Chains A and B, each alone.
Chain A
Amino acid sequence: MDSRLESQAMEMQAQEMGMTRTPLLSVRDLRVHFPFKRGSIFNRKHGVIRAVDGVSFDVYPGETFGLVGESGCGKSTLARAILNLIPPTSGSVRFDGTEIAGLGEGAMRPFRRDMQMIFQDPFASLNPRMTVGAIVGEPMKIFNLHDRSRRKLEVMRLLDMVGLNPRYLNRYPHEFSGGQRQRIGVARALAVQPRLIICDEPVSALDVSIQAQVINLLMDLQKELNLAYVFIAHDLSVVRHISDRVGVMYLGRIVEVADRQSLYENPKHPYTKALLSAVPIPDPKLERTRERIMLSGEVPSPEQIYPGCPFADRCPIAEPDCLEAPPALEGDLHQVACIRAG
């Protein structure tokens, strides 16, 4: 069969034998800064928006790394920077040991097969003029996989795999509901047998009853194909359900990262605590007695430069020394960037 399937099998074997795992994706001190100019030519202000500001994390084969944070925290920019869709300002992104940050279009190409993406809006991310067969088949065509007739069979196999009737091959996206379109997006991502899929809010545009279908599908496929996911979402319950490890972002930085259980049951950063306490739980009796940590104000602008902790001005436990130096992400397995964490 395929050599990549073989290497995946070997990886799985290595894991079972308890060998040290090597990360599939390794992000180190990644920064994406957008310079801007504002004002009239006589009164021009120059500045920099620090959308992603020194992010580091690892994703292992077959694992889901969840990224949560509020709008504007830089999670989507981070996803695009990992895939080199937005050139990073500095830092390193290694895929399977090879540095890919800042690679040109051509040099990046072989990695595009390994790293695919699923987008939030299943209405905007499928070309309305292409049939489902053409949409799912296009990545194979680009990478010259299979001849024409084999490609058609492959597309049908993929449609079946994501729970769509393979006979829908010649239909157009508008003939499908939101949940079905998201399945088409998943099939397209799988077409070139990637090892990593970056899912940017893959269920937030779907109806509640449909979200569970897509989440289950993603989890089943992961098990079957040993896929690694970077799962970006603002819904903390969904991220908890699907992730092995979770990172919490605030103003372009990861402020806490841990395995799912430690993060949700024993959050250490005051921002993570506030986020978790703000999620309404579908149990009216519990809700009546629950204490909420109310954060004042809103996420500040990422153009500002913070000498200390960027969360300090909204933080319920901040002290003057929080403003002195930016806290580093510290810890072994449960890492947190706060000098009063606990």
Chain B
Amino acid sequence: MSENILQVDELAVEFKTDDGIVKAVDGVSFALDRGETLGIVGESGSGKSVTNLAIMGLIPQPPGRVTAGRALLKGEDLLQMSTRQLTKVRGNRIAMIFQDPMTSLNPFLSIADQLTEVTRIHLKLSYEKSLTRAIEMLERVGIADPGRRVHDYPHQFSGGMRQRVMIAMALLCKPEVLIADEPTTALDVTIQAQILELMHELQETEGTAIILITHDLGVIASVCHRVGVMYAGKFVEKADVDGLYEHPQHPYTLGLMESIARLDEEATARLTPIVGQPPDLAHLPPGCAFRPRCPYAVDRCAAEEPPLADGPHGGQHACFVDVSTAERKEVVDG
């Protein structure tokens, strides 16, 4: 029944920096089915954006380099494609929306110019036809008076409206995969609710597979089917959305869930933060990257790196310790 659209295997991306070679993504694998939303959650520097830039062939090289892995879009490896082949795929079969809708629209071109370009290039439509298509799409994403607004420039739209324009642009060619990198982070909650609702609706009607990158566990819970949690360039836990929230298995996932203030729980006196600072990719400790901040760490964690293995609730996680029974220790912030 479920039809695989995108299959990523053992993806690795390195960057050359002043501190030496940094492995921003280190052996990431996942599969994405038609009509499915995969959430990728992680903090800044966890590699969630780099993973998706690599799939799109957008890693600046140098300093970046995709060192291993494949990304199969219905069997075709995106990582082996020439720039020419990629240009045919990007914006057509895979589209991306970014966090900041202001910097991702060209301020010198009208919305009409930017939207018609997509279908004229990929679908070889005439200007008139692509303009009609653009207006239809703007209407679908909820922009009032699209026939007039299409000739406006980006600065004439508000943040939420610009993000709608970006979504319209991304969906013009009915892509098989939509990568949304923090699409609502810059928006207010009421606008965020509108945009998430819109993405959900479009997925229902078009069957688009969505990769949603975010740091917001609430957003993940409200729209995703499956979730991957990234830390220091790797997936540390993968599970379906219910499993992840009911039985978080990795101490980092657990830590994230405990550290947030929630509207649905008693406002307790104290939050339980994750001790320490986000990992410095240039100076990762040996063994498990989360060990210095982990309240469950044992001696083995410093010597060996835990592999991603099947857990008791149908998901996978990379940890030697069973958090449901292990002893919790105080972590001292170095």
- Whether A295 pairs with B190 at a CB distance below 8 angstroms is yes
- Whether A210 pairs with B277 at a CB distance below 8 angstroms is yes
Q: Which chain A residues border B220 with CB–CB below 8 Å?
A: 282
- Whether A279 pairs with B221 at a CB distance below 8 angstroms is no
Closest to A299 in B: B188
- Whether A276 pairs with B263 at a CB distance below 8 angstroms is yes
Assuming A208-B215, A278-B193, is B221 touching A234 (CB within 8 A)? no
- Whether A283 pairs with B43 at a CB distance below 8 angstroms is no
Closest to B268 in A: A241
Q: Is B245 an interface residue (CB 8 A)?
A: yes
Closest to B189 in A: A278
A215 CB contact (under 8 Å) in B197, B245, B261: B261
- Whether A179 pairs with B277 at a CB distance below 8 angstroms is yes
- Whether B190 pairs with A285 at a CB distance below 8 angstroms is no
A279 CB contact (under 8 Å) in B218, B255, B275: B218
Assuming A284-B221, A284-B222, is B277 touching A237 (CB within 8 A)? no
Q: Which of A167-186 contact B (CB under 8 A)?
A: 177, 179-180
- Whether A236 pairs with B263 at a CB distance below 8 angstroms is yes
- Whether B267 pairs with A234 at a CB distance below 8 angstroms is no
Q: Is B191 an interface residue (CB 8 A)?
A: yes
- Whether A216 pairs with B271 at a CB distance below 8 angstroms is yes
How many residues of B sit at the interface, in one of the four size bands? Answer: 35 or more
Q: Which chain B residues border A279 with CB–CB below 8 Å?
A: 189, 218, 263
Q: Which chain B residues border A283 with CB–CB below 8 Å?
A: 221, 245, 264
Q: Is A49 an interface residue (CB 8 A)?
A: no
Q: Is A125 an interface residue (CB 8 A)?
A: no
- Whether A282 pairs with B217 at a CB distance below 8 angstroms is yes
Q: Chain A contact residues: over half helix, strand or loop, or mixed?
A: helix
How far is the CB of A181 from the nearest CB of chain B, in Å?
11
- Whether A282 pairs with B262 at a CB distance below 8 angstroms is yes
How far is the CB of B231 from the nearest CB of chain A, in Å?
10
Q: Is A71 an interface residue (CB 8 A)?
A: yes
Per-residue A-contact encoding for B192-203, CB less than 8 Å = 1, 0 else: 111011000000
Assuming A284-B242, A294-B197, is B260 touching A212 (CB within 8 A)? yes
Q: Is A21 an interface residue (CB 8 A)?
A: no
Q: Which chain B residues border A282 with CB–CB below 8 Å?
A: 217-218, 220-221, 245, 257, 260, 262
How far is the CB of A87 from the nearest CB of chain B, in Å?
28
Assuming A210-B273, A216-B271, A294-B193, is B44 touching A285 (CB within 8 A)? no
Q: Is A319 an interface residue (CB 8 A)?
A: no
Q: Is B87 an interface residue (CB 8 A)?
A: no
B191 CB contact (under 8 Å) in A177, A281, A292, A298: A298
B215 CB contact (under 8 Å) in A207, A212, A219, A287: A207
- Interface residues contributed by chain A, number (CB under 8 Å): 44
- Whether B270 pairs with A216 at a CB distance below 8 angstroms is yes
Q: Which chain A residues border B217 with CB–CB below 8 Å?
A: 208, 282
Q: Is B272 an interface residue (CB 8 A)?
A: yes
A209 CB contact (under 8 Å) in B218, B241, B262, B274: B274
Assuming A70-B188, A70-B190, is B271 touching A212 (CB within 8 A)? yes
Interface centre among B193, B218, B256 (most CB of A within 10 A): B193
- Whether B245 pairs with A216 at a CB distance below 8 angstroms is no
Kindly state the separation between the CA atoms of A130 and B252 in the bound complex, as whole angstroms.
35
Q: Is B306 an interface residue (CB 8 A)?
A: no
- Whether B218 pairs with A207 at a CB distance below 8 angstroms is no
Closest to B196 in A: A280
Closest to A286 in B: B264
Per-residue A-contact encoding for B20-40, CB less than 8 Å = 1, 0 else: 000000000000000000000
How far is the CB of A76 from the nearest CB of chain B, in Å?
14
Per-residue B-contact encoding for A183-221, CB less than 8 Å = 1, 0 else: 000000000000000000000000111111101100100
- Whether B216 pairs with A213 at a CB distance below 8 angstroms is no
How far is the CB of B196 from the nearest CB of chain A, in Å?
8
Q: Is B11 an interface residue (CB 8 A)?
A: no
Assuming A207-B215, A208-B215, is B221 touching A280 (CB within 8 A)? yes
* Closest 7 pairs (CB-CB, A-B): A280-B218, A212-B273, A241-B261, A209-B274, A70-B188, A212-B271, A212-B259
Q: Show 9 A/B contacts (Cβ-Cβ < 8 Å), sorted by A.
A: A208-B43, A210-B273, A235-B261, A260-B267, A264-B263, A282-B257, A284-B222, A294-B193, A299-B188
Residues of B within 8 A of A (CB): 43-44, 158-161, 188-194, 196-197, 215-222, 224, 241-242, 245, 255-257, 259-264, 267, 269-275, 277-278, 333
Extra 7 A-B pairs, beta carbons < 8 Å, given A240-B267, A299-B188 = A207-B44, A208-B43, A208-B215, A209-B274, A275-B190, A278-B193, A280-B221
